[in-house]
Amino acid sequence: MTLIYRRCAGMDVHQKSISVCARIRTARNTFTTETAVFRTFTQDLEKMAAWLKERRIRNVAMESTGVYWKPVWNVLEAGKRGLFALVLVNPQHIKALPGRKTDQQDAERIATYLQEGLLRGSFVPPQPVRELRELTRRRTHLQGDRNRIINRVGRLLETANIKLGSVLSNIVGQSGRAILNAIVAGETAAGDLATYTSSRVKRSREEFELALEGRYSDHLRWLLGQLLEELDHLDRRVALVDLRIGQLTRPHTDLLARLCTLPGVDIITAHIILAEIGTDMSQFPDARHLASWAGLCPGNSESAGKRFSGRTRKGDRYLRRVLIQNAWAVAHMKDCALTALFRRIAANAGMKKAAVAVAHRILMLAYYIIRDGGVYREAGGDVYDRRNPERTAKRLARRLQRIGFEVTLKPVVRTQPSPQGPPLPGQTCTKCNAWGIACIHVRPRKTDARKKSSR
């Protein structure tokens, strides 16, 4: 086995203790190992850093065990300790054999794998991106708490025969909140409560009066007041987090604006994308590696030539969730290439797989926007029809024949340039020249560098 590092160290990190193993190759091509155990208090972590420095250890690997690796990473990364080259490893990649599982053996095994170049480090963004990530995840948790409070309000109203959720899609919106505040204040007449609705609601006043005819009591008003106070408190918390996120992302205003050019991506989604993957795309060889890291590509489970499962792997659940939510929003857009992709996949594989595929495409587009500094350019909802018009015409003709129509296909002879524009110079594709667009049929050839990265 080829040795990559002459001196390295492996760590087995726990909540209260850390087992460290320094593995050093001597002049006679023999190996010496030194082990030590340190506590996880900051002073003990500083002693551990000095212990590694005395042995001239530069390369250090550790498992990503919960949040217990973060204090170790902070001490070895900060200040003068930044000389260490740290590697964070997925615990699934270095499982111990049965019967050979102790803290010292785990640390020695990690050091051996690191010295032989068998470890693949996880993506750990720089400190500013980690701080932004903590804020966006904090906002996600607060929003989840807010949604739970809203669901409790809806259940409480249902127990009192108040069907506000049947006439309003958002019971805590402008009209819903006005009605709820009136109920807490002591209003009980359905006709009076119906007057608090906005003129923009689609339901009639009679429907609101029927929905608000319930069983009101002091107990209901007290519980509803408590829930509304909790909701106001969470709204203030979310507003403070949004303000802090805006301050940290101020240097990336241009990047956020370019990310918002993606279909369905708003400023909140752009903040989460920036916080989860950062701005340095050199961490990922290409966009497909980023999609795999996020858990948005099909899994591989094959044996004897049979494919058993294509379930996606566990990835970044915060990034994955917001992108799939974004994909469901894209499914309802009009004249959008990603909407066409969603419908194309949903017709054969189902809507859930189509949502994952669209989320995969959005993440890949975000990768190129961050790396190359461009913006998203809409190709149109008919992009797949323009890619192969003959195939689309035959498919539609077969569909008409199945429902009882006789179809005759006759191509339109163009005598003038297409209204989309004149043919592009230097382009030989007749199909795309007829539409006045850049060729979408010829795929660019892979360079040697791209071939190596794809391997």
Q: What pTM value is reported for the model?
A: 0.82
pLDDT of 320-334, one tens digit each?
999 999 999 999 999
Pick from 27-36, 235-244, 307-316, 435-444: least confident: 435-444
Cβ contacts of 100-104, under 8 Å, gap ≥ 24: 103/12, 103/14, 103/17, 103/19, 103/37, 104/12, 104/19, 104/21, 104/35
pLDDT of 56-110, one tens digit each?
999 999 988 889 999 999 999 875 556 788 999 988 888 777 767 888 888 999 9
Question: Looking at residue 237, what is its pLDDT?
Answer: 96
User: In this prediction, what percent of the chain has a pLDDT beyond 90?
Assistant: 56
Cβ atoms of 95 and 102 within 8 Å: the answer is: no
CA angle in degrees (0–180, nearest 5) for 81-83-87: 95
Question: Looking at residue 428, what is its pLDDT?
Answer: 59
Residue of 114, 13, 109 whose CA lies nearest to 66: 13
Q: Find the helix or strand (DSSP H, E) in which 160 lies.
A: none
Q: How far is CA 432 from each of CA 68, 390, 436, rounded to the nearest angstrom?
A: 56, 13, 6
pLDDT category at 414 given cuts 50, 70, 90 is low
* C-alpha 36: how far from chain center: 39
Question: Looking at residue 248, what is its pLDDT?
Answer: 94
What is the number of other CB atoms lying within 10 angstroms of the CB of residue 23? 24
**How many whole angstroms separate alpha carbon 75 and alpha carbon 81?**
7
Backbone angles phi, psi at 441, to 5 degrees: -100, -35
pLDDT category at 122 given cuts 50, 70, 90 is confident
Q: How far is CA 280 from each of CA 123, 129, 285, 286, rounded to the nearest angstrom?
A: 11, 10, 11, 12
How do 17-25 and 7-13 pair as beta strands?
antiparallel
Give the residue extent of every domain in the chain: 7-122, 128-248, 253-372, 391-454
Question: Looking at residue 410, what is its pLDDT?
Answer: 81
Question: Looking at residue 37, what is its pLDDT?
Answer: 94
User: In this prediction, what percent of the chain has a pLDDT beyond 70?
Assistant: 89
What is the number of other CB atoms lying within 10 angstroms of the CB of residue 26? 9
Q: What is the mean pLDDT of residues 335-349?
A: 92
pLDDT category at 270 given cuts 50, 70, 90 is very high
Average predicted confidence (pLDDT) for the chain: 87
Contacts of 215 (CB under 8 A, 6+ apart): 160, 161
Question: Looking at residue 116, what is its pLDDT?
Answer: 86
**How many whole angstroms separate alpha carbon 303 and alpha carbon 190?**
65
How do 59-63 and 85-89 pair as beta strands?
parallel
Cβ contacts of 195-202, under 8 Å, gap ≥ 24: 198/174, 201/167, 201/168, 201/175
Dmax over CA atoms of the chain, in Å, equals 94
Helix, strand, coil percentages, rounded to 5, for the chain: 55, 10, 35
SS (H, E, C) 271-310: HHHHHHHCCCHHHCCCHHHHHHHHCCCCCCCEECCEECCC
Point out which residues pair with 307 in neighbouring strands: 302
User: Is 352 a residue whose pLDDT tops 80?
Assistant: yes
* C-alpha 404: how far from chain center: 46
Question: Looking at residue 200, what is its pLDDT?
Answer: 86
Backbone angles phi, psi at 39, to 5 degrees: -80, 170
- DSSP calls for 4-18: --SEEEEEEE-SSEE
User: Is 449 a residue whose pLDDT tops 50?
Assistant: no
Half-sphere exposure of 193 (CA within 13 A, CB side): 26
Site of tokens 């163009």:
414
**How many whole angstroms separate alpha carbon 193 and alpha carbon 189?**
6
Backbone angles phi, psi at 31, to 5 degrees: -120, 135
What is the number of other CB atoms lying within 10 angstroms of the CB of residue 310? 13
Superfamily assignment of 7-122 in CATH?
Ribonuclease H-like superfamily/Ribonuclease H (3.30.420.10)
User: Is 430 a residue whose pLDDT tops 60?
Assistant: yes
pLDDT of 132-190, one tens digit each?
999 999 999 999 999 999 999 999 999 999 999 999 999 999 999 999 999 999 988 99
166's tokens: 């049947």
